């Protein structure tokens, strides 16, 4: 499940896109994620959410006559993963499985998304992310309102240390 991490791996950083294009100009970023998952030993099926015809056609283009990743391609994917990890502060896919039972009604994925944007900003001190965070806190709990009950971490399919990440979000936005 989630070979493209809720669509996150369909939009990779420019550096990674260039890496992929240099090797296979017509292969989509999502195709690399899907083929990686489908090439793992013991995997017989990968489930990918598709929201339009173009995505389905893209999936069919490489899954219909599936070719597992070669060793060279595996190395390329490992390099891409390193580059992606270096650029994403919190690898949240935005699935929202964590939010329903939060006693503090914290907008976890939205805050992580704003925080990731903020960590990519390098020039200006004031950003729209801070304003958007403030607006969200009028309706939802602040990141700093987390009481560390842990229910969200039990629900997270990415096994993220949400409580720790929220502390970083709070330190950045709540002050």
By the criterion CB under 6 A, which residues form the site for ligand SF4?
92-98, 102-104, 106, 108-109, 146-152, 155-156, 158, 160, 162-163, 166
Cα–Cα distances in Å, from 66 out to 26, 35, 60, 106?
16, 8, 9, 42
User: Any long-range contacts for 137-143 (C-beta under 8 Å, 24+ apart)?
Assistant: 139/107, 140/105, 140/106, 140/107, 140/110, 141/102, 141/104, 141/105, 141/106, 141/107, 142/106, 142/170, 142/173, 142/174, 143/106, 143/111, 143/167, 143/169, 143/170, 143/173, 143/174
Taking the complex as a whole, how short is the minimal distance between the CB of residue 121 and ligand SF4, in angstroms? 21
Rounded to an integer, what distance in angstroms lies between the CA atom of residue 130 and that of residue 134?
Answer: 6
Cα–Cα distances in Å, from 116 out to 2, 14, 44?
20, 16, 34
69 or 155: whose CB is closer to ligand SF4? 155
Taking the complex as a whole, how short is the minimal distance between the CB of residue 159 and ligand SF4, in angstroms? 8
Taking the complex as a whole, how short is the minimal distance between the CB of residue 117 and ligand SF4, in angstroms? 15
Do the beta carbons of residue 163 and residue 150 sit within 8 Å? yes
16 or 162: whose CB is closer to ligand SF4? 162
127 or 158: whose CB is closer to ligand SF4? 158
38 or 92: whose CB is closer to ligand SF4? 92
104 or 127: whose CB is closer to ligand SF4? 104
């Amino acid at each position: 499940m989630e070979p493209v991490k809720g669509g996150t791996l369909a939009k990779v950083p420019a550096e990674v896109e260039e890496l992929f294009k240099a090797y296979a100009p017509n292969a989509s970023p999502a195709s690399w994620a899907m083929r990686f998952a489908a090439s793992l030993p013991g995997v017989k099926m990968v489930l990918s959410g598709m929201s339009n015809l173009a995505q389905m056609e893209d999936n069919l283009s490489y899954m219909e006559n599936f070719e597992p990743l070669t060793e060279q391609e595996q190395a390329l994917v490992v390099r891409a993963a390193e580059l992606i990890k270096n650029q994403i502060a919190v690898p949240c896919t935005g699935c929202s499985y964590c939010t329903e039972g939060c006693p503090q009604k914290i907008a976890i994925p939205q805050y992580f998304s704003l925080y990731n944007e903020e960590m990519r900003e390098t020039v200006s001190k004031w950003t729209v992310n801070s304003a958007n965070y403030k607006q969200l806190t009028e309706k939802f709990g602040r990141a700093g309102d987390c009481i560390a009950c842990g229910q969200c971490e039990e629900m997270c399919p990415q096994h993220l240390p949400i409580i720790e990440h929220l502390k970083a979000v709070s330190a950045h936005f709540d002050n």
